[in-house]
Structure 1
Amino acid sequence: MAAVEDRENSFTDENNCSTVQERLSKRHQARQEEAERRKEERDRGSLTEEKRDYFITEFSREKAAIEALLSAQELEQAASQTALLQKFLNDSILFLPSYDLRQAQAALQKLHTAINDARGEARPKKKFAFKARTKATDVKDVTHANADATHANADVTDAVHERIETEQCTFSNLSGVTVTITAQEVSQRDVLLSHLEDCRVRLQGAPSSLHLKHLQRCELLCGPVSSSVFVDHCEQSVLVLACQQLRTHNTKDTQVYLHVTSRAIIEDCSGVSVAPFTWSYSGLDQDWTVSGLDRNRNNWNHVDDFNWLSTTEASPNWTVIPEEERRSEWE
């Protein structure tokens, strides 16, 4: 009996020893894995900091070179270099802190403005006197309605194209018309649309920036914008946009079909709804290339509401358009 007990005690001791060794081995392995994980994090952090330092140095150098081109009135070369600098920023968004991103975006916007201002000073100014509002509801004769609308749209389009050539892609005070603007007219230029009612606007191409102000019951489709889109006082409209940054103010009851590589921002807005960008047209692929936007990075449903401070509840000022209600055909 004593021999049996000794054997059992010996087996128990061996089993306990084996269990302790296994625990020690697992603990040692866990320590090694944790040490490797921390090292990888340090390496990633160091690499990110190196990328950030490189970006800041290169961005500052290129910005100074563009400013020198502007001083020498080398406007087209300055515009070309600015487009490349915009692409450099777009490619660097993932590792840039938000402060550096905002600073770079502001610097690029100043360059775009300076280039367009210089172009305007170098170009002889013509007065643009298009003031009439053409309303589709004024056409009462059904037999001649299509012809009258065609002539009205042709007159408006001619006036818009004249303004594009002389006043840097701006037009306003239109009602009840359809206007199409080509890629050649807006490519890498600032575009301003203001005080439009019941209009359908098609902007093909890759503008440098887009400003939309005081739009009511409008449908606007725009090709990829290299930098920012600014929306202010827009109501009961549909906007189809692709851009690097979207900032929307004082806007309500408006749908936005969006491709945006950073996070969209709304402020003082209500009834804004979003869905992915769905417009397609001949030449769109080339416009994506010119814009420098990343087609694989789309934060369409990441919206920051500057009037909503809660971190636990979603903002009531914007929603996602249900898939069954989204539009994919625009013509």
Structure 2
Amino acid sequence: MEAEKSRVPERLQRRDEERLREVGKKRQEKEEQTVVEEKSGYFNASFGQERAAIEEALGGEGGPELLEEAAGRIQGLQKMLNDSIMFLPSYDTRQAQEQLTRLQSALDARRQQIQPTKKFTFKTRRKEGVPTAVVQPSAPVPPKEVAVQPAAQCGFQGLSGQVLFLGAQEIRQQDVQLSQLRDCTITLSGNPSTLHMRELSGCRVLSGPVSTSIFVDNCHDCLFTFPCQQLRTHSTRDCRFYLHVTSRAIIEDCSNLLFAPFTWSYPEILEDYRLSGLDRNRNNWDQVDDFNWLAMGEKSPNWSVIPEEERVTHWN
């Protein structure tokens, strides 16, 4: 009995300690939540103010200099979003990225009005037995017949079974668009501003550092390797990404995506990294946010890491 009585204070002390720990934990969680809410509020206010200013500038009668200033401000907004993804709710991230896409589309439309894009041609490197092709833009389509897409200044469209190449002189930090390609190998040896890839099947895409964002939409059975500031992937399946990304990759409506760190190289890549402004020492290749998977503490089943023994090590 005496021994049992002596244990009672010990149990009470342990209970008090557990209660204090629980109180401290809840207090810390509340403080952290308050900090997140304050950061989110500051981001939304700052982002909205700058977005409105850019929209006003694009709606005016400014010339090329004003448009270049707007392009720089859009890039600044993209960086602000990339740096804030860690604490922003998924909904806020999605809304901000959609607003950035609309701003980029409006900027491209104004550029077309002031200085229409010149026609371009790209010679292709041919595979054995495949005739050399020249890529030319199709005739303009009235806006009412197509969905609004970001205007590309260079790229490839509607080819099959080709080996395609763009160097730094062709890219010149422009936006690049690859669309409706099948069983092609595409090498972008340079520094694109943004990279848009849509409806690619069975393709292999190797790109130098992309200053801002890469958008992948409705692609399957492809291999991608590139550095970028942000990766947005939508409606894509069965693809492998060898990735260097300085923010976090975002996927939506995707399945069976595989990720590994970026390892491709070419002689001028260090200069292209310098031009891109990307931090070579910061790579979040395995930090992927899935907008279709909101379960806390559980990894999304829609993506995984490529085992080391299965990764590509020789690219030539």
The TM-score, its normalising length taken from structure 2, stands at 0.74
Letter in 2 for 1:299: D
1:250 is displaced (CA, Å) by: 5.7
User: Deviations along 1:3-50, whole A, 9 cap, x unmatched?
Assistant: xxxxxx8xx3xx555432222222222222221111111111111110
Count of aligned pairs = 290
Contact 2:194–2:214 (8 Å) recurs in 1: yes
Query: Which of the numbers 166, 170, 193 marks the counterpart of 2:178?
Result: 193
Larger relative helix fraction: 1
Query: Which of the numbers 98, 101, 106 marks the counterpart of 2:93?
Result: 101
Letter in 1 for 2:282: R
1:328 is displaced (CA, Å) by: 2.9
| Bigger Cα displacement from structure 2, 19-28 vs 197-206 | 197-206
Mapping for residues 115-264 of structure 1, pairs under 5 Å? 115-128=107-120, 135-138=126-129, 168-174=153-159, 175-182=161-168, 185=171, 187=173, 189-222=174-207, 223-224=209-210, 226-235=212-221, 237-243=222-228, 244-249=230-235, 251-252=237-238, 254-260=239-245, 261-264=247-250
Query: Which of the numbers 258, 263, 269 marks the counterpart of 1:278?
Result: 263
Contact 1:224–1:242 (8 Å) recurs in 2: yes
Contact 1:275–1:321 (8 Å) recurs in 2: yes
Rg (Cα) greater in structure:
1
Relative to structure 1, the CA distance from residue 294 to residue 96 in structure 2 (aligned partners, 3 Å threshold; closer, same or farther) is farther
Query: Which of the numbers 36, 39, 58 marks the counterpart of 2:24?
Result: 36
Contact 1:205–1:287 (8 Å) recurs in 2: no
CA distance in 1, matches of 2:31, 2:304: 39
Partner of 1:5 in structure 2? Answer: none
Relative to structure 1, the CA distance from residue 21 to residue 92 in structure 2 (aligned partners, 3 Å threshold; closer, same or farther) is same
Partner of 2:40 in structure 1? Answer: 52
CA distance in 2, matches of 1:67, 1:314: 36
CA distance in 1, matches of 2:271, 2:119: 32
CA distance in 2, matches of 1:57, 1:319: 35
Relative to structure 1, the CA distance from residue 186 to residue 117 in structure 2 (aligned partners, 3 Å threshold; closer, same or farther) is farther
Letter in 1 for 2:262: F
Instruction: Tell me the percent identity.
Output: 35
Please give the secondary structure, in 2, of the residue aligned with 1:81.
helix
Aligned CA RMSD, in angstroms, stands at 3.9
CA distance in 1, matches of 2:225, 2:258: 12
CA distance in 2, matches of 1:278, 1:245: 17
- Unaligned 5+ segments in structure 2 are 138-150
1:20 maps to 2:5: no
1:183 is displaced (CA, Å) by: 7.8
Partner of 2:313 in structure 1? Answer: 328
1:196 is displaced (CA, Å) by: 3.4
The TM-score, its normalising length taken from structure 1, stands at 0.71
Relative to structure 1, the CA distance from residue 96 to residue 303 in structure 2 (aligned partners, 3 Å threshold; closer, same or farther) is closer
